[in-house]
């Protein structure tokens, strides 16, 4: 990857030997390794047994999970907030695991639509709740820095599975994630 980055610098008209760029290929290689670490992660290992028996049958939501990803079309970042809700079916999951599941999929080359579905499906498959809802609100630098250059645009995607297809459940979820934080 270092060789590729060095060549990219040459192709855009830069001198990869000039001060400030000497270690850029190494830094970029390390950054990409970090930014795409989701390819080397497995949801089951991330959960690591943190699923617990519980009598809870009410909606559980983790809101405002920061996500950072890379658009697969332009290799530019998109970032925003992910909200995950589920209704347990005898089991709950450690709260940090929901954020970690979101990161597994966000840290890959992505489109937001697929990312939203992957998170919902992973929660459904590994926890087996009655239902799952995921909403992602994100800003895409590929749309802000280039192309149409719309800096205030926000893309919103949702995925609902199981009981979240039912209108009252979906409505409750959407209302709760829009609620202003009092913390």
Asked if residue 114 is part of any domain, the answer here is: yes
Asked if residue 90 is part of any domain, the answer here is: yes
Q: List pLDDT tens digits, range 117-133.
A: 999 999 999 999 999 99
55 and 31, same structural domain?
Answer: no
What average pLDDT does range 74-79 have in this prediction? 97
Asked if residue 44 is part of any domain, the answer here is: no
Distances (CA, A) of 173 to 79, 106, 178: 22, 22, 9
Q: What is the CATH classification number for the domain harbouring 77? A: 3.30.1130.10
pLDDT at residue 174 is higher than 90 = yes
What total number of domains does the chain contain? 2
Asked if residue 18 is part of any domain, the answer here is: yes
Q: Mean pLDDT in the chain?
A: 96
Q: List pLDDT tens digits, range 4-40.
A: 999 999 999 999 999 999 999 999 999 999 999 999 9
Asked if residue 138 is part of any domain, the answer here is: yes
98 and 161, same structural domain?
Answer: yes
In this prediction, residue 57 carries a pLDDT of 87
84 and 6, same structural domain?
Answer: no
In the chain, % of residues over pLDDT 70: 97
Asked if residue 121 is part of any domain, the answer here is: yes
Domain extent at residue 10 = 2-35
Backbone phi, then psi, for 124, in 5-degree steps?
Answer: -65, -45
57 and 17, same structural domain?
Answer: no
pTM of the predicted structure, to 2 decimals: 0.94
132 and 89, same structural domain?
Answer: yes
Asked if residue 11 is part of any domain, the answer here is: yes
- pLDDT category at 183 given cuts 50, 70, 90 is low
119 and 93, same structural domain?
Answer: yes
25 and 66, same structural domain?
Answer: no
In this prediction, residue 182 carries a pLDDT of 59
- pLDDT category at 74 given cuts 50, 70, 90 is very high
């Amino acid at each position: 990857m270092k060789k590729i980055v060095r060549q990219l610098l040459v192709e855009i008209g830069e001198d990869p030997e000039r001060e400030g760029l000497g270690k850029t290929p190494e830094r970029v290689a390390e950054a990409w390794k970090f930014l795409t670490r989701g390819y080397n992660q497995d949801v089951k290992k991330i959960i690591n047994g943190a699923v617990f028996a519980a009598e809870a049958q009410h909606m559980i939501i983790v809101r405002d999970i920061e996500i950072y990803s890379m658009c697969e079309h332009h290799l530019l970042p998109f970032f925003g907030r992910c909200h995950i809700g589920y209704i347990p079916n005898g089991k709950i999951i450690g709260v940090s695991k929901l954020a970690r599941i979101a990161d597994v999929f966000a840290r890959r080359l992505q489109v937001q639509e697929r990312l939203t579905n992957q998170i919902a499906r992973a929660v459904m498959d590994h926890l087996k709740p009655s239902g799952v809802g995921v909403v992602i609100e994100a800003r895409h630098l590929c749309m802000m820095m280039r192309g149409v250059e719309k800096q205030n645009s926000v893309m919103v995607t949702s995925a609902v599975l199981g009981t979240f297809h039912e209108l009252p459940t979906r409505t409750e979820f959407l209302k709760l994630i829009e609620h202003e934080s009092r913390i």
